[in-house]
């Protein structure tokens, strides 16, 4: 290959997918690159405004690993905050209004039992009491 032809060959630009998971104590951030690179960052969550910890963590991860903003192709975000609130029974007092014939939907749930043949199985309390 000639020098001119070699310089005309363009390698695809690396791109990164960034994932953010906000927890009650820590925020975890991961960036995966099309070149196989994987970078991770753990930072403190900021309950007064969860976006602050997320943004700070992403900025630090990118700076520490030489990732430019133009290299970030996708950002995905998740949080365990709502799940934790439900599991811990914390959160706003909630009511449920249904149409006629559907008041038992929460009680029935999916009628699936994790321990099918356990006669002593006790369902967890419904999210909203009757």
Predicted structure pTM score: 0.64
pLDDT band at 56; cut points 50, 70, 90: very high
Read off the pLDDT of residues 57-105 as tens digits, 9 standing for 90 and up.
Answer: 999 999 999 999 999 999 999 988 877 777 787 777 777 788 888 887 7
pLDDT given for residue 9 in this prediction: 67
Cβ atoms of 106 and 127 closer than 8 Å: yes
Task: Give me the chain's average pLDDT, please.
Answer: 85
Cα(14)–Cα(35) distance, rounded to whole angstroms?
Answer: 6
In CATH, which superfamily holds the domain spanning 8-86?
ATPase, nucleotide binding domain (3.30.420.40)
Residue 17: name the closest of 56, 81, 50, 61 by CA: 61
**Per-domain residue ranges of the chain:** 8-86
For residue 38, pLDDT over 80 is answered with: yes
Portion of the chain with pLDDT greater than 90, in percent: 45
Portion of the chain with pLDDT greater than 70, in percent: 88
């Amino acid at each position: 290959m000639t020098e001119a032809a070699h310089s005309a060959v363009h390698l695809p630009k690396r791109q990164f997918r960034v994932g953010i998971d906000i927890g009650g104590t820590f925020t975890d951030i991961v960036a995966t690159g099309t070149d196989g690179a994987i970078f991770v960052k753990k930072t403190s969550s900021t309950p007064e405004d969860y976006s602050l910890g997320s943004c700070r963590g992403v900025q630090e991860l990118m700076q520490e690993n030489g990732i430019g903003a133009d290299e970030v192709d996708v950002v995905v975000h998740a949080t365990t905050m709502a799940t934790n609130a439900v599991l811990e029974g914390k959160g706003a007092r909630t009511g449920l209004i249904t149409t006629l014939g559907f008041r038992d939907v929460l009680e029935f749930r999916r009628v699936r039992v994790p321990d099918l043949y356990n006669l002593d199985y006790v369902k967890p309390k419904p999210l909203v009491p009757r």
